[in-house]
Structure 1
Amino acid sequence: MRPLTIAASLALTTLLATAPARAQDEATPAPAANAASSVALQGDAAKGKMLTYTCQGCHGITGYKNAYPSYRVPRIGGQSAEYLANALHEYQKGTRQHPTMEAQAQSFSDQDIADIAAFLSSIK
């Protein structure tokens, strides 16, 4: 199976696993729909650690060099939370392009991204 197919399958599985909870959240109207998006979310590093298990598949490789195809994978541990959150939001919008990262980012809520950024920025 091709690596991109595996990553896409993993992203789809993650998305489908969270779909019932998201559908319930979408059915309940939020009191202030976009108020949370204008305020910076506080990330929870413990939750972020749980959400980053799939990131290790590429970003956890020693030397940050991927074998399929061979390319350098950015070091994300220790980056600033703001940089990480911005990058994931850009992948969600499609303004930053990489098929696997776009699929991953689209499966995350804004709170998930804040949690991931909080955890990854805490790694030294």
Structure 2
Amino acid sequence: MMRPLMIAACLALTAAASAAAAQETTQAPAAAPASAAPALKGDPQAGRQLTYTCHGCHGVTGYKNAYPNYHVPKIGGQPAEYLVNALTEYKRGTRKHPTMQAQSQSFSDQDIADIAAFLSSLK
């Protein structure tokens, strides 16, 4: 049985993903792939504020996995480039995981750079 908070979070993620998908269909296609774009400089303090939802699954502080029977990767201390690539791929849909795709839809490229700067600074 799911807890009410988990159900609300799932509904919010689904709504955000639907809104993002609807917005994508009305916007012009992206001009160039991320690899061709200049790398954004991430702000770790801004990234700290954006990672509040990451803690629920990834348990960033001390890396305590919230799902003992399901492998959730460690993200604290990962290289910033890896984190940027992963979040960008989830956002584009080229990396598949429904929760991560829904989460990443709400992030701008600068948000992703900020998140990566913060998470990569953790040891």
Scaled by the length of structure 1, the TM-score of the pair is 0.71
Deviations 1:39-84, CA, capped at 9 Å, x for gaps: 11000000000000000000007542515xx311100000000000
Correspondence for 1:11: 13
Correspondence for 2:82: 83
Residue 119 in structure 1 maps to residue 118 in structure 2 = yes
- Cα distance, 1:9 vs. partner? 2.9
Identity of aligned residues (%): 60
Contact 1:7 1:100 in 2 (8 A): no
The residue type equivalent to 2:53 in the other structure is: T
Distance 1:57 1:65, change over 3 A: closer
- Coordinate RMSD, CA, aligned: 2.9
Correspondence for 2:92: 93
What's the secondary structure of 2:73's corresponding residue?
A: coil
Distance 1:96 1:77 in 2: 19
Contact 1:85 1:117 in 2 (8 A): yes
Correspondence for 1:52: 51
Distance 1:97 1:65 in 2: 20
Report the number of matched residues.
Answer: 106
What's the secondary structure of 1:73's corresponding residue?
A: coil
Structure 1: 5+ residue stretches without partners: 20-32
Deviations 1:84-111, CA, capped at 9 Å, x for gaps: 0000000011111111000000110000
Correspondence for 1:30: none
Correspondence for 2:67: 66
Contact 1:44 1:119 in 2 (8 A): yes
